[in-house]
Homo-oligomer: A and B are copies of this chain.
Amino acid sequence: MNQPATPERCARWGVYEVELHGPADGNPFTDVDLTAVFSDGEREMRAGGFYDGDGTYRIRFMPDAEGLWTFTTASNAPVLDGVTGEFACTAAAPGAHGPVRADGFHFAHGDGTRYLPVGTTAYAWTHQAEGLRDRTRRTLAAGPFNKVRMCLLPKWYQYNHVEPEYYPFPGSAEEGWDTTRFDPAFFRRFEQEVAALQDMGIEADVILLHPYDRWGFADLGAEADDRLVRYAVRRLAAYANVWWSMANEYDMMGAKSEDDWERLAAVVSEEDPHGHLNSIHNCGPFYDYARPWITHASVQRQDAYRTAEFTDEWRERWGKPVVVDECAYEGDIDQGWGNISGEEMTRRCWEGAVRGGYVAHGETYVNEAEELWWSKGGELVGTSPARMGFLREVVAASPTGVLDPLPSNWDARTGGVAGAYEVTYFGFSRPRFRELPLPEGKRCRVDVIDTWNMTVERVADDAEGTIRVTLPGREYMAVRVVAQQ
């Protein structure tokens, strides 16, 4: 029997890893089954192991409660079967709050800390050279974003014509891939970046499959898809900051039917003992976000003119949090999905926010190096990220920590907490003043918020009844009413 030298302790929501040594001959990826059951004495949780090359097998697990945990392996390879061990789960590391969960129409970490998605998109950043990845990490560390939407597999698309250093399978596009085996180096690279994000407090919204492909990865067939998804989930599920996205633009992947997506989602559910968030992103028609495995809607623009404006309708339709992962990107490329202004990007974020949802960022400015943030990462040059950080502060200051849609006038939506914290957003309307009825019987503080210039001006401390608020006659203003205790 294999007595592993496993760590004696693991912080709550950290990655606990059992390393084992076993068969290296044949095809260990398919020949060897390996799982482990972890227990804290009350619950048993099963985690699948994976072959990491060179005779090394690993089982990763994210303990979600402090105390003593034990584990026992099971395998068809005798040397990997019945291995046992134990470890102490210690307090969470500073800043670690556990995986994000859906909480009604919003999100919270495992420890209950409110999580307000301020998302961006950099689909292929992990597949770029180290210099560029380093710049991406620095940009993320300096910016307001706490979620990055990113593809597991490399990407081939407009502005994306770089071969990655690693591929998921041994082989080549020209001579074919051995989809019964994986290249551990490919996955290690990806994991390293997921871990780097976790260190920065950023969620990794991992897109398992996507259509932007020249290698055949978008059409591997059901068995290879299942193997790929199982292997990826077993490697990644112990990272607390992982979200699953079954696909980007699932409806552009003609080779897969809804049955395929449902089967693949079941693989994720089966292989992820930690129940990370899961969704699937559309290009045209929505997937049915009411499906039980889907924790939140991950929406792409439905209309060239309106997207965020549907947020509250979508909440009601699916009864889940709404994340508008693509409402178009700030930039100036030739495509209509990637050339809106920072002002319009910010406007969409606010329109979504006062309707109780979360609109995400992307940036697609043409540059010499063809390093567009939305895919390769690098530097941000746009104007919307700072405003998204400012918006987050306004949302976070609500007594519930979130905004929910409130009864509104037709021309300016109000969101917040009824009678306590009400934010009315004027968008492209430019009133010079507005009469606002204050919550009945309450004395209120009233702020004029310039969402573009990121200023908050107190205009009343102790108002009641109806207040006439003077505004500057510019676009992108909001008024916040806060009831005093």
User: A residues engaging B (CB < 8 A)?
Assistant: 303-306, 309, 331-337, 339-341, 344, 366, 409-412, 428-435, 473, 475
Q: Is the pair B340, A432 in contact by a Cβ cutoff of 8 Å?
A: no
Q: Could you write out 24 A-B pairs with CB less than 8 Å apart?
A: A303-B306, A304-B309, A304-B410, A304-B411, A305-B305, A305-B309, A306-B306, A332-B430, A334-B431, A334-B433, A334-B434, A334-B435, A335-B411, A336-B411, A336-B412, A339-B430, A339-B431, A339-B432, A339-B473, A340-B429, A340-B430, A341-B428, A341-B430, A366-B432
A364 to B158, CA, bound (A): 45
Residue of B nearest to A473 (CB): B332
For A309, A332, A409, the residue with the greatest tally of chain B CB atoms inside 10 Å of its CB is: A332
Could you say which residues of chain B place their CB within 8 Å of the CB of A410?
304, 336
A303 to B412, CA, bound (A): 12
Could you say which residues of chain B place their CB within 8 Å of the CB of A412?
336
Q: Is the pair B337, A411 in contact by a Cβ cutoff of 8 Å?
A: yes
Could you say which residues of chain B place their CB within 8 Å of the CB of A434?
334
Could you say which residues of chain B place their CB within 8 Å of the CB of A475?
341
For A331, A339, A344, A432, the residue with the greatest tally of chain B CB atoms inside 10 Å of its CB is: A339
A31 to B433, CA, bound (A): 53
A415 to chain B, nearest CB (A): 15
Could you say which residues of chain B place their CB within 8 Å of the CB of A411?
304, 335-337
Q: Is the pair A432, B332 in contact by a Cβ cutoff of 8 Å?
A: yes
A166 to B305, CA, bound (A): 46
Could you say which residues of chain B place their CB within 8 Å of the CB of A304?
309, 410-411
A254 to chain B, nearest CB (A): 19
Closest 8 CB pairs of A and B: A336-B411, A332-B473, A334-B431, A339-B430, A332-B432, A305-B306, A339-B429, A332-B430
> Beyond A333-B432, A334-B431, A339-B431: 13 further Cβ-contacts under 8 Å?
A303-B306, A304-B309, A332-B430, A334-B433, A334-B434, A334-B435, A336-B412, A336-B429, A339-B430, A339-B473, A340-B430, A341-B430, A366-B473
A409 to B334, CA, bound (A): 12
Could you say which residues of chain B place their CB within 8 Å of the CB of A332?
430-432, 473
A112 to chain B, nearest CB (A): 36
Q: Is the pair B431, A333 in contact by a Cβ cutoff of 8 Å?
A: yes
For A304, A340, A434, the residue with the greatest tally of chain B CB atoms inside 10 Å of its CB is: A304
A335 to B429, CA, bound (A): 9
A428 to B337, CA, bound (A): 11
Could you say which residues of chain B place their CB within 8 Å of the CB of A366?
432, 473
A74 to chain B, nearest CB (A): 52
Residue of B nearest to A433 (CB): B334
For A336, A410, A475, the residue with the greatest tally of chain B CB atoms inside 10 Å of its CB is: A336
Contact of A428 among B333, B340, B409, B473 (CB under 8 A): B340
A340 to B333, CA, bound (A): 27
A433 to B338, CA, bound (A): 12
A436 to B473, CA, bound (A): 38
Residue of B nearest to A435 (CB): B334
Q: Is the pair B428, A334 in contact by a Cβ cutoff of 8 Å?
A: no
A437 to chain B, nearest CB (A): 13
A475 to B331, CA, bound (A): 11
A473 to chain B, nearest CB (A): 4
Could you say which residues of chain B place their CB within 8 Å of the CB of A336?
409-412, 429, 431
Residue of B nearest to A337 (CB): B411
Could you say which residues of chain B place their CB within 8 Å of the CB of A435?
334
Residue of B nearest to A344 (CB): B428
